[in-house]
Structure 1
Amino acid sequence: MKIREGKESDAAAMAEIYNHYVRTSPVIFSDRCLTAGEMADKLRRLGVGSRFPFLIAEEGNIAGYAYAHLWQPDPVYDRTWELTMYLDAQACGKGLGSRMLAMLIDECRRRGVHTLVSCVTEGNSACERMHDRAGFFLAGRMPEVGCKFGNYYADVIYQLML
């Protein structure tokens, strides 16, 4: 599996992965699917690929994506970045997420980031274990902040000091 720098033309495949989770899982706290254009707009708005690192995993088809962006817009948070990563359902459980996370952490460290934040839907045990293995610590838990499919879910916040 090749991991490369992402580009705007990846937005359509990214939207497909994103929309799968919107329709089938609470891991994305949204009930609205995105078009390729909306995904590209979102990436531009966040500064992904220009200021912030952006990775794509592919082997023929795109199997996953990961990027960093500001955790909060105020300048006092300028060196605190949030991570986002989603894999195609067929790519899960094969170590790809851990590889992409390690590469993203290294790139954030190289860019002088002080701390990384990652919000995980409680109950996503594979993602929670991946963050634990990568050295993140549990920074907090916000119970029942998202309601999807008629159920309330907590956000679990992981943090890594670089």
Structure 2
Amino acid sequence: MNITFRYAKLTDLPKIVAIYNQTIKLKNITADIRPVSVSERKEWFASFSNDSHPLWVLINEEGEIVGWVGLEPFYGRAAYEKTAEISLYLDENYRGQHLGTKTLEFISAHLKKLGIQNIVAFIFKQNTASLNLFKRHFFEEWGFLPQVAQIDENYLDLVIMGRHFANDQ
């Protein structure tokens, strides 16, 4: 499948939220346990900057948004300015079509101009598809937090995946 990327616009927020909310019912992708609303996500959306920490949407050949990816500041302290946290979500109808791979390749190509050298991803251990995606793209386990989240009666482990890109640029 061919996809293109563009910076997200506020008018995209309902679709971004809808895609995110699809993952909540799976109970192993996000730590939210109830759907979020568009109004709840407006401040989050406004925190992105095309110059340093962008939010992109993935567009299919028909012009539909089929996913989104964002780079957020890591931990909010100046010494971490070259490190970003990545969030990547795909519409449930488009998973398993290598869009994650295309997205990570796209991100890698844009890091230098953004001044980002490191990316971290917080992934539940139980989300094997995402873990495998990031491992295939040379992310390594940088941390492990056992049973730090509870969804229903299940305790989930958080894996912190990371990659240094400074040598790639």
Both structures adopt the same fold (TM-score exceeding 0.5): yes
Partner of 1:100: 103
CA contact (8 A) 1:11 1:37 kept: no
Cα distance in structure 1, aligned partners of 2:66 and 2:75: 28
Segments of structure 1 that go 5 or more residues without pairing to the other structure are none
Moved more, 23-32 or 123-132: 23-32
Partner of 2:134: 131
Cα distance in structure 1, aligned partners of 2:136 and 2:90: 18
CA contact (8 A) 1:121 1:155 kept: yes
TM-score normalised per structure 1: 0.91
CA RMSD in angstroms, aligned pairs only: 1.5
Aligned-partner residue type, residue 57 of structure 1: L
CA contact (8 A) 1:14 1:65 kept: yes
Give the SS at the match of 2:119: strand
Cα distance in structure 2, aligned partners of 1:148 and 1:39: 21
Partner of 1:143: 146
Are residues 49 and 148 of structure 1, via their aligned partners in 2, closer, same or farther at CA, if it must alter by over 3 Å? Answer: farther
Cα distance in structure 2, aligned partners of 1:48 and 1:98: 23
Percent identity for Structure 1 against Structure 2: 22
1:16 paired to 2:25? no
How far did residue 48 of structure 1 move?
4.3
Equivalent residues in 2 for 1:75-86 (5 A)? 75-86=78-89
Task: Give the total of aligned pairs.
Answer: 161
Segments of structure 2 that go 5 or more residues without pairing to the other structure are none
How far did residue 9 of structure 1 move?
1.4
Moved more, 105-114 or 147-156: 105-114
How far did residue 122 of structure 1 move?
0.7
Are residues 158 and 85 of structure 1, via their aligned partners in 2, closer, same or farther at CA, if it must alter by over 3 Å? Answer: same
